[in-house]
Structure 1
Amino acid sequence: MQWVALLLFSVTVGGTLVWLGVPAAFFLGSVLCGMSFRLLGARLKLPRPCFIYAQALVGCAAAKSMTPSVLGALTENWQVLGAMVLSSVIAGGLVGWFLTRWRVLPGNTAAWGASPGGASAMIALAEAYGSDVRMVAMMQYLRMLLVVLLASLAVHRLSVPHPIDVAANARFSLSAFFLGDLVQMALTLVIMAICGFIAWRLRIPAGALLVTMLTGAVINAAGWMDFRLPPVFQMAASMLIGWFVGLGFNRTLLYASLRKMHWLFFSAFMLIGLCAFFAWMLHRFAGSDLLTAYLATTPGGLDAIILLAMDSGTKTDIPFVAATQTLRLFVVILTAPPLARWICRIAGPLNALNGVQAAGT
């Protein structure tokens, strides 16, 4: 009954947000409903296979924009791509150092919690390295929620609607949600199922999305088939991913971090603000579209950001956003352990020195 209630409320809130013109409405509505249900005491947890295949569906949708010309443009602009990835990692390191320097959190906990992306991977790594897993989880999920809300607002303010979408909204009908070529739909679902299963067995972070997106990009670039899914599938994927984000919050996490909640909000806004500043610099000096730069650098939620990018209009370079967010995920996972050790090594002596000076005073 809780799942039925969550579904009905999510559809209602998502439909209201569609009526208000909010981008990625069903995803955002599902995030808010999932978080509300969880904090009100609902004992719901999204089954792992549902989340995996929802990611695979998003990967199929993103693969449609991966054409040979687009992939060639990505290789030509590798300097901008690398600058965006590097700026996000630097911003995460600065926030982790600040939290450790001011004794808000221990160095290893601050480093894992401030890592810009890969929430589930960061929580698993934090547990393996003996950090405060509850605080890391709260930092990651809180920032993910703020990133979704702020990115949705940015898309609403800066996007240019798709002409096709405008025409479709003018003649909206419920049957349009189920339209599609049956053969193409069946092939797309088969590819999605195989890629999702492979990623699940190999335990790749965000693997279902990445494997499906890369496989689909190769197939789409080669011209072997055209990915076709009815809108109802994409809406279902958006809602499942939204529930995964929203249901990650719970009372235990909230109570454990209540005393430091103002610091957690400050650190999240600090990281988002630094990434937004780097995005503005890239827009100003590299000529990148402002919305594309913002979505490419914003720190968190590979699947969520791709969903927002796909719903952001004609100006957004979806493959560039997907490539930047994917590359950043891998870089963050590779650099997080040495970055955590570096923060502990640099901030630790400074804290000890301040303690000695305070004792002498």
Structure 2
Amino acid sequence: MALGAVCTELGVPASWIFAFLVSFGAYAILSDRQTTPPTRLMQPAQVVIAMVCVAPLVELDGATVAGYVTPTVLALVVTLAVCAAAAFFLHRSGAASAVSSLLATLAGGASGMTVLAAELKEDVRFVVLTQYLRLSLVVLTLPAFVHLFAGGGDTGSGEDTAGDADSVAWWFPEPRSVLGALVVWGVVWLLVRLTRRVAKLPVPYLLLSMLLTWVAGTVGVPDQWLRPEGLLLVFAYAVIGVQAGGTLTKSALRQFSHSLPLILTAVASMIVGAIVAALLIAHFSDVPLLDAYLATVPGGIYAVLAFAHEAGSEPIVTVVQVMRTLAMLVIGAYLPTIIGWWGKRRRN
């Protein structure tokens, strides 16, 4: 908790996930003992993450979203192609299974992919290592690329807004908003729990929660009620951080040490792919290059939205980033089915 508070003050993106990941990662490495949160904590945390991911979409009108169809499609196509190539590279090299390799490289939210890996019973440690290396490299290189694509202009440091994007006044949030978000969260969690077996969707506490949150926003539920703040948000990030960090034992790091060069190469190729996607979007639409890059950068959504706010381009960045996250989560959830169908087709 102390590390999370310090990281928030310093403007570290995803500070609470980072704090618990580092703390429990250090414990796992020093003790060589894995820590996994119980299901009764993971499921409510997934509902909170789903609400946070979907809430930005509710604010935008249909005309605005329609204007972003072309950039979104281009970003999805290029990102999927790059992720598939990186996953194929990792799988063929023997680093992990096909599903684990794809989950490790899909640029749609490290926390979401970690949850999917656990739900699908894939190699969580490999997915965590690759996803958080990607997140770290993207966030570290983001200021340089923003400066470059802005033509060397001053876009602002983004430090304060990065902290705000992750956790706004977590120690003393607005009581009415917190109460409303708590009620919506409870209703969504209960509805998912009652309908998850009927809907038969993979990772229902993510996908069904996203759908229900979007429906709640469209029927008039206040926007601030769809955005959990305060300790509820800290709790969700803490649980995901524990799950992510608690898997990185000494044995796991030793096991994947030979794969680190391959993983770093795959992550670098994803960043290059984002630059290619940004160039294509800027060429085929009226979107500026900086906005296009912020919309397609593979990871660090909190830092990305902070820089987008500084540059005055938040709407397009929000739409493309959230739509990409949703698309990657859906694709990730159905990966075993997709790969099984593809393998059967090749054999025939």
| Pair 1:123–1:52, CA change in 2 (3 A) | closer
Q: Does 1:25 align with 2:22?
A: no
CA distance in structure 1 between the partners assigned to 2:85 and 2:171 by the alignment: 50
Q: Which residue of 1 aligns with 2:149?
A: none
Secondary structure in structure 2 of the residue aligned to 1:210: helix
| Pair 1:226–1:196, CA change in 2 (3 A) | same
Deviation string, structure 1 residues 66-98 (Cα, Å, up to 9, x no partner): 336445433443332222222122112322444
Once the 2 structures are TM-superposed, how far is the Cα of residue 195 of structure 1 from its aligned partner?
4.5
Q: Does 1:176 align with 2:172?
A: yes
Q: Does 1:244 align with 2:229?
A: no
Q: Which of 203, 212, 232 matches 1:215?
A: 212
Q: Which amino acid aligns with 1:146?
A: L
Deviation string, structure 1 residues 126-167 (Cα, Å, up to 9, x no partner): x7xxxxx65xx45422221123223444667758799x979x
Q: Which of 148, 159, 162 matches 2:135?
A: 148
TM-score (normalised: structure 2):
0.71
5+ unaligned residues in a row in structure 2: which ranges? 107-112, 147-154
Q: Does 1:189 align with 2:191?
A: no
Once the 2 structures are TM-superposed, how far is the Cα of residue 326 of structure 1 from its aligned partner?
1.0
Correspondence list, 1:246-265, <5 A: 246-265=245-264
| Pair 1:187–1:206, CA change in 2 (3 A) | same
CA distance in structure 2 between the partners assigned to 1:338 and 1:182 by the alignment: 43
Once the 2 structures are TM-superposed, how far is the Cα of residue 338 of structure 1 from its aligned partner?
6.7
Q: Which residue of 2 aligns with 1:323?
A: 323
CA distance in structure 1 between the partners assigned to 2:246 and 2:20 by the alignment: 10
Once the 2 structures are TM-superposed, how far is the Cα of residue 175 of structure 1 from its aligned partner?
5.9
Secondary structure in structure 2 of the residue aligned to 1:257: helix
Q: Does 1:113 align with 2:101?
A: yes
Q: Which amino acid aligns with 1:221?
A: T
Q: Which of 93, 103, 109 matches 1:104?
A: 93
CA distance in structure 2 between the partners assigned to 1:56 and 1:123 by the alignment: 16
TM-score (normalised: structure 1):
0.69
CA contact (8 A) 2:125 2:252 kept: yes
Secondary structure in structure 2 of the residue aligned to 1:180: helix
CA distance in structure 1 between the partners assigned to 2:235 and 2:203 by the alignment: 18
CA contact (8 A) 2:100 2:126 kept: no
Once the 2 structures are TM-superposed, how far is the Cα of residue 25 of structure 1 from its aligned partner?
1.7
Deviates more, 1:176-185 or 1:20-29: 176-185
Q: Which amino acid aligns with 1:104?
A: S
CA distance in structure 1 between the partners assigned to 2:297 and 2:119 by the alignment: 23
| Pair 1:183–1:143, CA change in 2 (3 A) | closer
Q: Which residue of 1 aligns with 2:109?
A: none
CA contact (8 A) 1:62 1:319 kept: no
CA distance in structure 2 between the partners assigned to 1:279 and 1:320 by the alignment: 12
| Pair 1:123–1:104, CA change in 2 (3 A) | farther
Q: Which amino acid aligns with 2:71?
A: V
CA contact (8 A) 1:34 1:243 kept: yes
CA contact (8 A) 2:83 2:270 kept: yes
Q: Which amino acid aligns with 2:97?
A: T
Deviation string, structure 1 residues 258-309 (Cα, Å, up to 9, x no partner): 233322332333334323442454356531674674464516xxxxx55556
CA distance in structure 2 between the partners assigned to 1:173 and 1:83 by the alignment: 36
